């Protein structure tokens, strides 16, 4: 396997030229200069509303259409109209949950997990007032959700299974295709939170065979924005709020109000950035989707090296690591590691690392139910170090030295 061109990649990110280690990427990744330029170009030359008859407005329409096509390629959608843009993933979770709540009929059971970000739990719990019954799918002691456990939970009353593609707290990756197979056999739908997984590997909604999927662009190297993918026929059948002049078809029916057009331009540029990474690694990948696949597969392989290195430095620091730690199962996780050091509070760890220009996060990671299962309080929680493909093994080693110094004091 060719060496991953991480130094070449890092040169594309202005923020990485500072002497700071970004290990808080699960909260939001940095953006390459091409993305920043796309946002600035939009604001400088077409900072107007869509739908006008003049050139700048028509260019906004074109930019949105181009961004929609790019994101459709990123997730392997069947049609670009299956992509809707908005403020963030949570707003789309709520929008879909409200629509589901208005169309429960005889299928009133909703399966949620305790591995998920609270956003993909709370929006479904809110439907209890609409008569929904919540069914819990619990992760096992190995830090993973096992699709076979669904067989005891699914029934003719199940409307939807809401689950994460990868845990934003402990990095465990779920086999969504297996979830979809089991759910669809019971006549249920599958709603996937792909926010955390977005920058870490290939997203393929056709292979996943799910029904809805949400992402946050700012985890995938774009500015702050979110997008929803859904099966065209399902989205068009959902009851949603819309103004009288808005068509009752996707994406218009799901793009409520004016969102941040310049950030969609940035998301389009972020997809192009990933394509360029793919072509850098595999020059023969001339088609856009092929380039994206090449990039995401190389990223997964390289990030597995980062995960292994992180597990080593955390073991040397005598840390308790939550989730998957077996090296033979490294492919089942992202390089997102929650841990605690003996005798040092999570807040103290992050404060001391910050003094050494290393950014990590402490707390419940918006997953308090998961923390409770781990025997941790939501007030203190754990430390989370979350890496992406622009991080380096040298940064991991600096992180390890910082932990060693902290423990020696």
User: Are 224 and 180 in the same domain?
Assistant: yes
For 326-366, write each residue's pLDDT tens digit.
Answer: 999 999 999 999 999 999 999 999 999 999 999 999 999 99
User: Are 147 and 259 in the same domain?
Assistant: yes
Residue 256 confidence (pLDDT): 87
Q: How confident is the model at residue 396 (pLDDT cuts 50, 70, 90)?
A: very high
Full residue range of the structural domain in which residue 375 is found:
6-31+296-408
For 185-199, write each residue's pLDDT tens digit.
Answer: 999 999 999 999 999
Residue 398 has pLDDT above 70, yes or no: yes
Residue 241 confidence (pLDDT): 87
Over the range 123-132, which residues count as b (16 or more CB within 10 Å of their CB) and which as e?
bbeebeeeeb
Among 303, 267, 283, 304, residue whose Cα is nearest residue 74: 267
Establish if 1 belongs to a structural domain: no
CATH of the domain at 237: 3.40.640.10
Q: Where is the domain boundary, 271, 306, 331?
A: 271
Give the mean model confidence (pLDDT) for residues 13-17.
97
Q: Residue 34's CB: how many other CB atoms inside 10 A? A: 15
Residue 35 confidence (pLDDT): 98
For 306-323, write each residue's pLDDT tens digit.
Answer: 999 999 999 999 999 999
User: Are 14 and 53 in the same domain?
Assistant: no
User: Are 243 and 320 in the same domain?
Assistant: no
User: Are 186 and 300 in the same domain?
Assistant: no
Establish if 42 belongs to a structural domain: yes
For 249-290, write each residue's pLDDT tens digit.
Answer: 999 999 988 999 999 999 999 999 999 999 999 999 999 999
Among 85, 81, 114, 110, residue whose Cα is nearest residue 98: 110
Q: How confident is the model at residue 242 (pLDDT cuts 50, 70, 90)?
A: confident
Q: Residue 143's CB: how many other CB atoms inside 10 A? A: 23
Q: How many Cα atoms sit within 13 Å of 324 on the Cβ side?
A: 22
Q: Residue 261's CB: how many other CB atoms inside 10 A? A: 23
For 17-46, write each residue's pLDDT tens digit.
Answer: 998 999 999 999 999 999 999 999 999 999
Residue 1 has pLDDT above 60, yes or no: no
Q: How confident is the model at residue 378 (pLDDT cuts 50, 70, 90)?
A: confident
User: Are 309 and 347 in the same domain?
Assistant: yes
Total domain count for the chain? Answer: 2
Establish if 278 belongs to a structural domain: no
User: Are 257 and 314 in the same domain?
Assistant: no
Q: How far apart are CA 152 and CA 54, in angstroms?
A: 58
Residue 334 confidence (pLDDT): 98
- Residue 112 DSSP code: E
Residue 52 has pLDDT above 70, yes or no: yes
Residue 408 confidence (pLDDT): 75
Give the mean model confidence (pLDDT) for residues 130-157.
97
The token duo for 212 is 């809805």
Residue 212 has pLDDT above 90, yes or no: yes
User: Are 251 and 329 in the same domain?
Assistant: no
Establish if 327 belongs to a structural domain: yes
Residue 66 confidence (pLDDT): 98
Establish if 212 belongs to a structural domain: yes
Please tell me the pTM assigned to this model.
0.97
User: Are 196 and 69 in the same domain?
Assistant: yes
* 343: three-class secondary structure by DSSP: coil
Give the mean model confidence (pLDDT) for residues 153-176.
98
Residue 409 has pLDDT above 80, yes or no: no
Strand extents, DSSP E, 272-340: 320-322, 336-340
For 84-120, write each residue's pLDDT tens digit.
Answer: 999 999 999 999 999 999 999 899 999 999 999 999 9
User: Are 230 and 370 in the same domain?
Assistant: no
Please say whether the beta carbons of 46 and 265 come within 8 A. Answer: no
């Amino acid at each position: 396997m060719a060496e991953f061109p991480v130094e070449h990649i890092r040169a594309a990110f202005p923020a990485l030229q500072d002497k700071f280690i970004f290990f808080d990427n699960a909260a939001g990744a940095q953006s390459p200069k091409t993305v920043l330029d796309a946002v600035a170009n939009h604001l400088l030359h077409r900072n107007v509303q869509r739908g006008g008859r003049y050139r700048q407005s028509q260019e906004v329409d074109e930019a949105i259409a181009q961004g929609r096509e790019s994101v459709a390629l990123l997730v392997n959608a069947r049609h670009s109209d299956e992509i809707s843009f908005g403020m963030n993933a949570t707003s789309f979770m709520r929008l879909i949950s409200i629509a589901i709540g208005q169309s429960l009929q005889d299928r009133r059971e909703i399966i949620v997990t305790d591995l998920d970000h609270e956003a993909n739990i709370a929006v479904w719990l809110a439907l209890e007032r609409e008569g929904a019954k919540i069914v819990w799918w619990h992760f096992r002691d190995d830090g993973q959700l096992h699709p076979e456990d669904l067989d005891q939970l699914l029934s003719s009353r199940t409307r939807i299974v809401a689950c994460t593609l990868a845990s934003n707290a402990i990095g465990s990756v779920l086999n969504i295709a297996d979830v979809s197979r089991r759910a669809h056999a019971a006549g249920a739908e599958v709603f996937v939170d792909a926010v955390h997984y977005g920058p870490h590997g290939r997203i393929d909604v056709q292979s996943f065979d799910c029904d809805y999927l949400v992402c946050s662009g700012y985890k995938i190297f774009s500015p702050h924005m979110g997008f929803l993918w859904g099966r065209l026929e399902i989205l068009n059948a959902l009851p949603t709020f819309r103004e009288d002049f808005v068509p009752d078809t996707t994406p218009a029916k799901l793009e409520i109000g004016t969102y941040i057009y310049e950030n969609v331009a940035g998301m389009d540029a972020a997809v192009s950035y990933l394509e360029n990474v793919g072509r850098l690694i595999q020059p023969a990948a001339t088609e856009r989707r092929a380039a994206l696949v090449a990039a995401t597969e190389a990223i997964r392989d390289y990030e597995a090296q980062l995960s292994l290195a992180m597990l080593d430095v955390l073991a040397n620091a005598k840390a308790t690591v939550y989730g998957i730690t077996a090296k033979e199962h490294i492919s089942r996780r992202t390089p997102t590691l929650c841990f605690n050091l003996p005798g040092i509070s999570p807040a103290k760890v992050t404060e001391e690392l910050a003094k050494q220009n290393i950014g990590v996060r402490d707390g419940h990671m918006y997953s308090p139910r998961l923390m409770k299962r781990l025997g941790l309080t939501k007030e203190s929680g754990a430390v989370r170090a979350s890496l992406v493909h622009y991080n380096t093994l040298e940064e991991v080693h600096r992180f390890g030295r910082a932990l060693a110094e902290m423990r020696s004091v």
